[in-house]
Structure 1
């Protein structure tokens, strides 16, 4: 019995030593919403490497008539990277960005450039965003939500189209760079 108690106590000590501080403890920022958002956003941003790997001649390809082309998917992602912060968080897009017409951009170089710029824009505004903005109520698609919900929608939207982009790439014989 004493041996079992010693083993249990040893296991408890090992587990306790491995536990990270709870969010909000001084000096620990690894579990903050902004940190978690950034990790998920960066993961979804791998779509940029896919956009760069896709051959320019495939940018106008679409699986069938009436469905978004490769470049339309990438510009759609870029548009909403600017749209959600502007429309729901009151953070204006850069003056030289015409949010309403981003989806009309064509050509690999231009599409990759606007996608990359939109990703960097989101990273920058979230990095600079005051924590109070995350809790502030706003509107998103007619619902009252907080800033965190808007940023979560941004990731959800982007991730949906990452999946679509992977399917498009594979249908065109392009292996996502992270799968090679």
Structure 2
């Protein structure tokens, strides 16, 4: 009986955690992340998009192209939406290295994620999705997409500072 009560309590906690998150809150988070990411793209002068602190790291353009591909892939894992650019390597595509193309890809990747989140059933947040060695919930995949772009924006902040540019102000709300 004690094991059954523990199991029921755990299910209640998990159900409660998923009920706190809505597609609306996720969309708001991704809209804010999109705006901040575009601010970062705008902050770096166009002639510095090939800047890299050392040869063994990504250029400024590649940071955002990689992050865009991650936003698409990770959010696709969570939402089930058909992945765009599935057979491409955005950060290696020479045609995408300009400021305007990076801006377009950042916008497109966030629009993809936001549209996919809007169109998903929040009751599916708890479903497990397996990709490679990872078995996590749909909601966790979406949160990983948000975490991934935040990580690369943090790296981009260093690139900006190394060029004497103050990074854009964080948008908490």
The normalised TM-score by structure 2 is 0.75
Q: Which runs of 5 or more structure 1 residues have no equivalent in the other structure?
A: 1-29
Q: Is the 8 A contact 1:89 1:138 kept in 2?
A: no
Q: Is the 8 A contact 2:78 2:140 kept in 1?
A: no
Aligned equivalent of 1:21: none
Task: Count residues with an aligned counterpart.
Answer: 148
Shift of 1:87: 4.5
Structure 2 CA distance for partners of 1:75 and 1:68, relative to 1, 3 Å:
same
SS state at 2:97 partner: coil
* RMSD of equivalent CA atoms: 2.2
Instruction: Tell me whether 1:134 sits opposite 2:135 in the alignment.
Output: no
Q: Which one has more relative contact order, counting CA pairs under 8 Å at least 6 apart?
A: 2
Partners of 2:134 and 2:86 in 1: how far apart?
25
Instruction: Tell me whether 1:82 sits opposite 2:72 in the alignment.
Output: yes
Out of 15, 30, 38, which is 1:41 matched to?
30
Aligned equivalent of 2:40: 50
Structure 2 CA distance for partners of 1:109 and 1:118, relative to 1, 3 Å:
same
Residues 63-105 of structure 1 deviation map (CA, whole Å, 9 limit, x = unaligned) = 10111110000001111111123355431134xx355321122
Partners of 1:90 and 1:32 in 2: how far apart?
18
Partners of 2:154 and 2:21 in 1: how far apart?
27
Partners of 1:86 and 1:172 in 2: how far apart?
34
Residues 102-142 of structure 1 deviation map (CA, whole Å, 9 limit, x = unaligned) = 11221111111111111111111111111133222111451
Q: Which runs of 5 or more structure 2 residues have no equivalent in the other structure?
A: 1-18
Shift of 1:31: 4.4
